[in-house]
Structure 1
Amino acid sequence: MARPGYEADRFSLVLRPWPEGQPKILTGGWDRSVEEFTWSGDGKTIYAAADDIGRLSLFAVDVATGAARELIRGGAIHDVQRVGDRLLFLRNDLAHPDEIYTAGLDGKAEPLSHVNDAKVAAADVGVAEQFSFPGHKNETVYGWVVRPPGLAEGAKAPVAFLIHGGPQGSFSDRWSYRWNPQTYAGAGYAVVMIDFHGSTGYGQAFTDAIQDDWGGAPLVDLQKGLAAALARYPWLDGDRVCALGASYGGFMVNWIAGQWQAPFRCLVNHDGVFDNRMMYYATEELWFPEWEHRGPYWQFTKQHEAHNPANYVDRWRLPMLVIHGGKDYRIPETQGIATFTALQRRGVPSRFLYFPDENHWVLKPANSKVWHDNVLAWLDTWLRAPAAAK
């Protein structure tokens, strides 16, 4: 990483001859960010995992030249170890939790464990598909759709439109125990997820593009991405859509409430930013808003206020479920309380779900069940109930 204060800068492999040699950036010509790595036995190759176009794949990096080639394509490959002349790693994807895999140095992989196979086979698992479309400035943007299992031919499914956090993150081909699209697909909802400008795995310039533009290019990508998905997949019901997001995704839900109401019947905001001004002064991660909005609030007020959801509350009308954790110091609970207050004073149908013992994420299993039960009930209320059709 080269830029102080920027958590999403590119992670490069750097070699330094021991003990007094000069550091050399090995992967400076490779526009991907290394997440983890391990050495080959002969020291001529480094095996590195990196996000790449919606997957966490494994690459072989030539130590002599720095050239990287894809060795094993994700899903999501992580915890890579070399054992003799074999590689050992964990691998998951949107349809299956982690299993242990082994592979030869030629990249031919096979599962070593089958811990989750029976449970996955017994579950209703949706089929995921990646797609692309021209997004902001006609640059190629990628997304995923998940078709709910058992959807009859010719039928349409209501849509859960998931917006990832970070904002420098990705909804990629990986399993999650928090924001898992299979949760919604298994309940009968189609899922659409867009890796908007600012997402990781598409080159550093694409990731950097969100700086000082939180509500600009990403919103355009989300709008174009949803439109592209609705046009391409006839089983998506464009008249029954709910947008859901956490952290930056929660910010975007609040931003959508004031900027892009038309396609949505409801919203779900988990630990999202309501007021950029108070976010700056209250977060424990002070360096973060200074990078994202160019500097301190008092010096860069215009940048902080340019995409501030609090400035557009007068436009809010979409029903919203607001969720927040009492131990969230990243985006403090007052942001969620303020969101709910604005909705209530506006007379907008809304609920506030509060977890006093959770932080920025809901991690306790019992709380996770409460979270999912309430979120799915909210979707059912606004996307399935007869009144929603009005």
Structure 2
Amino acid sequence: MRRVLLLMALFGAGLGQAEAQQQTAKKPLTHDVYDSWKAVEGDMISNNGKYVLFNVNPQEGDGALYIKNYTANSMQQFARGSKAAITNDSRYAVFQIKPEYNKVRALKLKKKKADDLPKDSLAIVALENMSVVKVPRVKSYKLPKEASNWIAYQLEKPLPGKKEAKKDEPKVTEGAPTEKKAEAPKTAAAKPAAKGKTKKSEGTELVLRNLQTGQEHRFTRVTDYFLSDKGNMLYFVKDELDSLHKAGVFAFSTSDLKVMPVDTGKVTYKAISADKAGEQLAFVATMDTVGADIRYFNLNYWTKKENKARVLADTLSKGMPKDWMVSEHGNLKFSEDGKRLFFGTFPRPTRYEKDTTKLEEEKVSLDIWTYKDPLIQPMQLKQLDKELKRSFLALYDLKGKKMQQLASLEMPDVYLDAYGQADVALGVSDEKYKMTIGYDTPTKKDAYLIDLKKGTKKQVLNETRGLPQLSPMGEFVYWYEPTDSSWHTVSVKGGTKKNLTKSIGVPFFEEDNDMPMLPGSYDMAGWVEKDSYLLVYDRYDIWKLDPSGKKAPVNLTDKYGRTNKLRLRYEQLDPEQKFIPENATLYLSAFNYTDKSYGFFRDFVSKATQPEKLVMTPNSYLSLKKAKNENRFTFRKGSYREYTDLYSADQSFANAEKLSNANPQINEYLWGNVELVNWKSTDGKPLEGLLFKPDNFDPKKKYPMLVYFYERSSDGLHQHRTPAPSASTINIPYYVSNDYLVFVPDIVYTDGYPGESAMDCIIPGVQTLVAQGFVDDKRMALQGQSWGGYQIAYMVTRTNMFRAAMAGAPVSNMTSAYGGIRWGTGLSRQFQYERTQSRIGGTLWEKPMQYIENSPLFFADRVKTPLLIMHNDQDGAVPWYQGIEYFMALRRLNKPVWMLVYNGEDHNLVQRKNRKDLSVRMSQFFDHYLKGAPAPKWMQQGVPSTVKGKEYGFELIETAAEPKE
């Protein structure tokens, strides 16, 4: 027995040594591996469930499209495939093929023009045998929603200097069929130009291809196009070439293969739209030139049966408000039954004469701010383009042949039922309350029912704080009201108002809201067909509510969520779904609040059964999809250690098949693990957080630790985090791979004390970890962005326990930030401090000391922690001057502080080159202070403006003094 135990011990030691050697062979992540890390994107499943396609794309470089064939149990790969779709009959996959990344980059380095760069190709794959037809230089393609035989695609301009057709080629009549299945189709011979001035066409060739026969039809000079839902009609717009080749709208019938000119001779055609049957067409057009001060558009209508366009609405039409006109920016839409046409109008703009008596340099440019402006000037300027293109919804009754204006200046937002067929619309207006935007949130609104038969309106809501909407059939107005935390309805026919949730006895407001504002709802799943029920969420479950209030509310998920601390949410598997069928099987995503695991459940709308668990594991699950006609599902599954790859399963969700393996190289690197940790705040509140540990973690070893936070992050325990250059925050896998601990604590806030709340939650969490013996308490640092950056800027005025800190876009002075502007939206920042994230809970003059006490700037003299700030000069969320104020104060006090300002960048970095740059600088900063690495030149000597763009200061200075303990 003793010998057996000895052998077992030796065998166990051997396994331990082998595992240790395997881990030792792994390497830490470096900044130069980011580009090769891949993402699974664009996944879809065919209607018959036999095919799944998805993209695997690197962060930079050439990706690939994959098609899984379940019939043949095979996987096909297509290099650089993108923008993929599967036809409605599941017979074809269509996608574009991008040019090679390195070839395009090389040509860009040679300063080649955009027209000279390689263009996308088109691929059409017959899924049954995987045969491929390729077409070069394709700009775009479109498939009909419901049909399967046709594809339309538009070609790029011909290559410079390349003739469209050889002289000895036979002339092809436009729209006539060709039997070509050519790999490189040529443009049909153009008609001879008319005498007189000829201009260069901006349109390009459009090809309509029959997917079954390969037969093609070609149309030149096309600028816009679409296929009807049923594929029975192709509509397209052509631009003008000369007097014989006018601009116009054309129709092509796919049944009789005939081109029908809809309308020609206008200067501009826009917003073409067809009804569901595909045989009614609407568009707006004008004879006015592009440079005209005011361009008058008409609303035009055409049917295949009549084959003649006529004007439905213009400035003189009955029903058009005085001095109003048809908008070129309106959204043209037919009702589901094709009996109504909705379009946009707007007030005719004032015509201003050009002042020819002044030079440009003599003209004054200014903004005039007044206290009576409904919106402050920055908001007006930010919304200027939107305002200039604003349109107001109008209706044309095609049967009754009359126009009705629905929206107005006083009631600009009008909403329809799901089909556009109800006899009412819902008007919503916050016009009376716009003065309060910026400090009174959520903004008040009034709501009106508009009778589409009588043309009258009736106010049904006054000063609601909710977002009133119309049910799919138009039977009810419904909304969540923050002032009483309840769901409400108003019956359209009787006007009866009902509070649907007041008597239930569970909260429908966000239970963990910790902002000094009215809490929002947990949202809703949708409506059951015929407007019979409304499905809404509490924190855990789904409730089935009778909108008339006659039937008692029913907990659809049988309180299973609340009993088991699960959040259950409906997964809408049909993106076109307007309602939930009464006999529907509901597939639910599930999240366990206790252990943070995810999964899927199944339940029913009309059956009184508990939810059935399909799968629930310590992973993240997302992006559930279902084949339209079969019980085959796809979903994404991952964890911190496993990339969120694509899986497929049948309705039992047992034995799921892994379809993608996007990042097998993860096994080559030291990666680490994550665990949930618990502690209590200074005032005794239980808290959670995430602790990321390196591979081969040794509890007897002392590790440097980074503390990153925002508000609450612990629910992301099983979230996979991809190595990628940073937009503003630390890349956790990079630091854990390089032997750092990373702690991500949750924060719970007390109104009026946001900075102190951060201290009360974070410091005890850090101390709890330090007490376990594996954290080097002399080598800890803080990092965060925006709200996290503010909290760091505050904390370093209150504690010296951290060796270094990095704060991205921090607010440093709440007194000046309060009166500032969020330049990204033009909003006043007041609301943020009074009611939302900053959580002061009052105005500057009501609570001046709390604004000062929570402002790091006023305590800059207490800072001893070396601080790195990033604040970019085009930050639209936190004004750049906030970072400048703090930097200048610390600089004057001779504190170690640096500020990175990426030119032209917003709140978070967008440009990849800048993200890579920031990632290197952050790691150099933390390695210096937490690992004793030499400081880089940019930290020791800076980078003078005279060498900007020539030197970057990444070089490490070996003789630099080590950071003091």
Query: TM-score scaled by structure 1?
Result: 0.82
Structure 1 contact 273–331 (Cα < 8 Å) conserved? yes
Give the secondary structure class of the aligned counterpart of 1:325: coil
2:867 aligned with 1:320: yes
Match of 1:366 in 2: 913
Matches within 5 A, 1:49-198: 52=593, 55=596, 57-60=598-601, 62=603, 64=605, 71-73=615-617, 75-83=619-627, 84-103=630-649, 105-106=651-652, 108=654, 109=656, 111-116=658-663, 118-149=664-695, 154-164=700-710, 167=711, 172-173=716-717, 174=719, 175-176=721-722, 177=724, 178=726, 179-197=730-748
Structure 2 contact 693–741 (Cα < 8 Å) conserved? yes
Match of 2:854 in 1: 307
Deviation of 1:99 after TM superposition, in Å, equals 1.2
2:812 aligned with 1:274: yes
Structure 2 contact 540–568 (Cα < 8 Å) conserved? no
Separation (CA, whole Å) in 2 of partners of 1:140 and 1:69: 32
Give the letter for the 2:880 counterpart: E
Deviation of 1:294 after TM superposition, in Å, equals 2.5
Separation (CA, whole Å) in 1 of partners of 2:886 and 2:595: 32
Give the letter for the 2:779 counterpart: R
Give the letter for the 1:367 counterpart: N
Match of 2:572 in 1: 38
Distance change in 2, residues 1:311/1:37 (3 Å): farther
Q: Residue 776 of structure 2: which of 232, 237, 258 is its match?
A: 237
Structure 1 contact 15–26 (Cα < 8 Å) conserved? no
Structure 1 contact 29–66 (Cα < 8 Å) conserved? no
Distance change in 2, residues 1:227/1:110 (3 Å): farther
2:215 aligned with 1:215: no
Give the letter for the 1:213 counterpart: Y
Deviation of 1:172 after TM superposition, in Å, equals 2.3
Match of 2:962 in 1: 387
Separation (CA, whole Å) in 2 of partners of 1:180 and 1:8: 32
Separation (CA, whole Å) in 2 of partners of 1:34 and 1:374: 42
Separation (CA, whole Å) in 2 of partners of 1:355 and 1:92: 34
Distance change in 2, residues 1:379/1:24 (3 Å): same
Give the secondary structure class of the aligned counterpart of 1:278: helix
Distance change in 2, residues 1:344/1:28 (3 Å): closer
Match of 2:799 in 1: 260
Give the secondary structure class of the aligned counterpart of 1:330: coil
Separation (CA, whole Å) in 2 of partners of 1:366 and 1:36: 40
Give the secondary structure class of the aligned counterpart of 1:259: coil
Give ranges in structure 1 of 5+ residues lacking alignment. 198-208
Match of 1:25 in 2: 536
Q: Deviations over 1:316-335 (max 9, x none)?
A: 12100001222221112211
Deviation of 1:19 after TM superposition, in Å, equals 4.7
Separation (CA, whole Å) in 1 of partners of 2:921 and 2:526: 50
Give the secondary structure class of the aligned counterpart of 2:644: strand
Give the letter for the 2:764 counterpart: K
Separation (CA, whole Å) in 1 of partners of 2:888 and 2:609: 54
Give ranges in structure 2 of 5+ residues lacking alignment. 1-479, 484-514, 542-561, 575-580, 933-960
Distance change in 2, residues 1:384/1:169 (3 Å): closer
* Structure 1 range deviating more: 78-87 or 355-364: 78-87
* Structure 1 range deviating more: 242-251 or 185-194: 185-194
Deviation of 1:128 after TM superposition, in Å, equals 1.6
Separation (CA, whole Å) in 1 of partners of 2:620 and 2:482: 27
Give the letter for the 1:226 counterpart: V
Give the secondary structure class of the aligned counterpart of 2:797: helix
Distance change in 2, residues 1:25/1:236 (3 Å): same
Structure 1 contact 39–45 (Cα < 8 Å) conserved? no
Q: Residue 48 of structure 1: which of 561, 565, 589 is its match?
A: 589
Give the letter for the 1:225 counterpart: G
* Structure 1 range deviating more: 267-276 or 309-318: 309-318
Q: Residue 331 of structure 1: which of 855, 878, 881 is its match?
A: 878
Query: TM-score scaled by structure 2?
Result: 0.35
Distance change in 2, residues 1:143/1:308 (3 Å): same
Structure 2 contact 540–567 (Cα < 8 Å) conserved? no
Deviation of 1:8 after TM superposition, in Å, equals 8.1
Distance change in 2, residues 1:153/1:354 (3 Å): same
Separation (CA, whole Å) in 2 of partners of 1:63 and 1:279: 51
Structure 1 contact 277–297 (Cα < 8 Å) conserved? yes
Structure 1 contact 10–33 (Cα < 8 Å) conserved? no
C-alpha RMSD over aligned residues: 3.4
Deviation of 1:379 after TM superposition, in Å, equals 0.8
Separation (CA, whole Å) in 1 of partners of 2:519 and 2:714: 12
Give the secondary structure class of the aligned counterpart of 2:638: strand
Separation (CA, whole Å) in 1 of partners of 2:794 and 2:757: 13
Structure 1 contact 11–34 (Cα < 8 Å) conserved? no
Distance change in 2, residues 1:224/1:95 (3 Å): same
Q: Deviations over 1:187-240 (max 9, x none)?
A: 22111111222xxxxxxxxxxx454431233321111111112223x3321221
Deviation of 1:45 after TM superposition, in Å, equals 2.1
Q: Residue 247 of structure 1: which of 782, 786, 803 is its match?
A: 786
Distance change in 2, residues 1:2/1:347 (3 Å): farther
Number of aligned residue pairs? 374
Structure 1 contact 163–249 (Cα < 8 Å) conserved? yes
2:897 aligned with 1:350: yes
Give the letter for the 2:808 counterpart: H
Give the letter for the 1:111 counterpart: K
Separation (CA, whole Å) in 2 of partners of 1:182 and 1:235: 19
Deviation of 1:181 after TM superposition, in Å, equals 1.2
Match of 1:205 in 2: none
Distance change in 2, residues 1:182/1:328 (3 Å): same
* Structure 1 range deviating more: 59-68 or 347-356: 59-68
Structure 1 contact 316–346 (Cα < 8 Å) conserved? no
Q: Deviations over 1:93-117 (max 9, x none)?
A: 333433113345555455321111x
Give the secondary structure class of the aligned counterpart of 2:643: strand
Separation (CA, whole Å) in 1 of partners of 2:569 and 2:885: 36
Greater share of residues in helix: 1
Deviation of 1:383 after TM superposition, in Å, equals 1.4
The percentage of counterpart residues that share the same residue type is 17
Distance change in 2, residues 1:254/1:350 (3 Å): same
